[in-house]
Amino acid sequence: MSTVALITGAASGIGAAVARRLASGGARCVLVDLDQPGVERLAKEVGGAWLTADVSLPESSEQAVALAEEKYGRLDLVHLNAGISSGVDLAHFDLAQYRKAVGVNMDGVVFGVNAAVPLLRRSGGGAIVVTASLAGLVAYDGDPVYTMTKHAVVGLVRGLAVPLAREKIRIGAVCPGFTDTPLTAGMRDAFAGAGFPMLTAEDVAAAVESAFYAEEPGTLLVVQPGRQPVPYRYAGVPGPAGGQKPPSLG
């Protein structure tokens, strides 16, 4: 039985690289993107299904999951990859720009998880990987609102890891450094001039595939040029002086 994968932000960059990588291994892919020509072209290339949709709307994720069930009858892997830089300048705040960034980077992940989990459950389990960023683990002052959204999805992954694992659904995230994709096209010359290496989309796609099969729930894979992906470890926070443990609130 072939693996069925759903990928958002699939028309280019990391999402397209993941689609090609999974399809080359025999997976059947459902591709989602706002770029209709791009996502249709890639779907034809990999022999998959496609949907033109805005992930900031909950119905988009619902339609994508319904398409997977209609076309292939199941769902095994979900890559919630769609993301944008915010461009929000807090000194000259643009509410519409802010809402757009939060809608794609945060809401798109929440809606994607919410829509996918029931079909993953009916399929016997599976895995969800979110494209976060190093900006989800450390402060990136080049775009503080983007940093906020990536911290938020990392927190969601960590909070959902144990509850979803009980249903045989793994969830994790990849946290790549600067990657050569359309999102960073305007930075290429600056990075080249500084001699700073950028990841390729294929580097990150390989990490995404590893993250799908990570044994530890909530794994956050840091991806940097010239290094093997490595799980990020939090130091933890101090508890009460007496060492008491909180009650179970789950």
C-alpha distances out from residue 88 to 42, 100, 110, 132, 182, Å: 31, 10, 22, 18, 19
Q: Please name the residue that has the structure tokens 């990928």.
A: 7
Q: What's the distance, CA 181 to chain centroid?
A: 15
Angle at 67 between CA 209 and CA 119, to 5 degrees: 65
Supply 12's token pair.
């280019």
d(CA 76, CA 231): 23
The type of residue at 136 is G
Supply 74's token pair.
């199941």
List, as own/partner pairs, every contact residues 18-25 make where C-beta atoms lie below 8 angstroms and the sequence separation is at least 24, other chains included: 18/79, 18/81, 18/205, 18/208, 18/209, 19/46, 19/48, 20/45, 20/46, 20/205, 21/202, 21/205, 21/206, 21/208, 21/209, 22/77, 22/209, 23/47, 23/48
* Residues known to be catalytic: 146
Q: Which residues contact 162 (CB under 8 A, 6 or more apart)?
A: 217, 218
Supply 247's token pair.
């009650």
Q: How far apart are the first and last CA of the chain?
A: 35
